[in-house]
Amino acid sequence: MFSTYNLTHYSVGDNLRNWMHKNHSTPLAATIRDNLENQGFLTSQELNPFICRAIKSAISQKPAKSGILIDGFPRNLEQLNSGSVRPFAENLLISGASKVNAKPDVVIALRVSKQNAKVRYLARARDSNDSDEKFERRFTEYEVETVPVEDDYRRRGILIDVDMNGTKEENIRKIKKRLINSDAWQRIMVKEGANTDS
């Protein structure tokens, strides 16, 4: 998907883990570790500098990318409403851009049933303390914290829902078909001149 649409992929969770391991002795690393282990949320003050650097990096890449796909952000309303605060509010002159824009053109929500999500979560076993109890806590947090974010984007008309309950191959086909049939996605990608033939 990323090569097809000439996008940079930035996984918030993966990059936070990498940063934490490299800077494990810092207070921020301890905060990140606690949030990742207990399924908490970083504040925008803690998280936004990471997102801002990712956007700046995508803007400055050569050859130029059509955009950046940020995976796992925002997860709650506090993060959602942080696009106008530091560091995003600062003027950052990068490749002719006057400001880093943290507002998405389009948002993709990958839909998985609770049962399938639980099976995948436990099979992944990323952390040694992954468990049924931890999954239930995480799913409840998703319903309470993240669903309102999705509702906000849906009201704006930029949310694309994709059913991801199939096999890996089925899911890839479904997401490609969903994006091709999405007016919001096509409007953005055509405007940016992305190459959709590869």
Q: Is the pLDDT assigned to residue 92 strictly greater than 50?
A: no
Burial class (CB within 10 angstroms; exposed 0-12, middle 13-18, buried 19+) of 48: buried
2 shares a domain with 82: yes
Range of the domain at 143: 105-193
117 shares a domain with 182: yes
Q: Please list, in sequence order, all residues whose beta carbon lies within 8 angstroms of the beta carbon of residue 43, skipping any fewer than 6 positions away.
A: 78
CATH code assigned at 18: 3.40.50.300
178 shares a domain with 163: yes
Average pLDDT of the chain is: 80
- pLDDT (0 to 100) of residue 34: 83
CB 46 within 8 A of CB 16: no
Pairing of strands 91-94, 97-99: antiparallel
71, part of any domain: yes
198, part of any domain: no
Task: Examine the fold and report which residue of 103, 129, 150 is the final residue of a domain before the chain moves on.
Answer: 103
95 shares a domain with 20: yes
Give pTM, 2 decimals. 0.77
Q: Is the pLDDT assigned to residue 37 strictly greater than 50?
A: yes
Q: Is the pLDDT assigned to residue 78 strictly greater than 80?
A: yes
- pLDDT (0 to 100) of residue 96: 45
Mean pLDDT within 7-34: 88
95 shares a domain with 28: yes
Question: What distance in Å separates the CA atoms of residue 49 and residue 154, rounded to the nearest whole number?
Answer: 26
Task: Examine the fold and report which residue of 88, 103, 118 is the final residue of a domain before the chain moves on.
Answer: 103
- pLDDT (0 to 100) of residue 97: 45
Count of the separate structural domains present in the chain:
2
Q: Is the pLDDT assigned to residue 86 strictly greater than 50?
A: no
69 shares a domain with 10: yes
In order of 2, 6, 35, 56, 120, the CA distances from 69 in angstroms are: 8, 10, 23, 13, 22
99 shares a domain with 179: no
91 shares a domain with 113: no
98 shares a domain with 136: no
89 shares a domain with 50: yes
92 shares a domain with 68: yes
Q: Is the pLDDT assigned to residue 138 strictly greater than 50?
A: yes
- pLDDT (0 to 100) of residue 94: 39
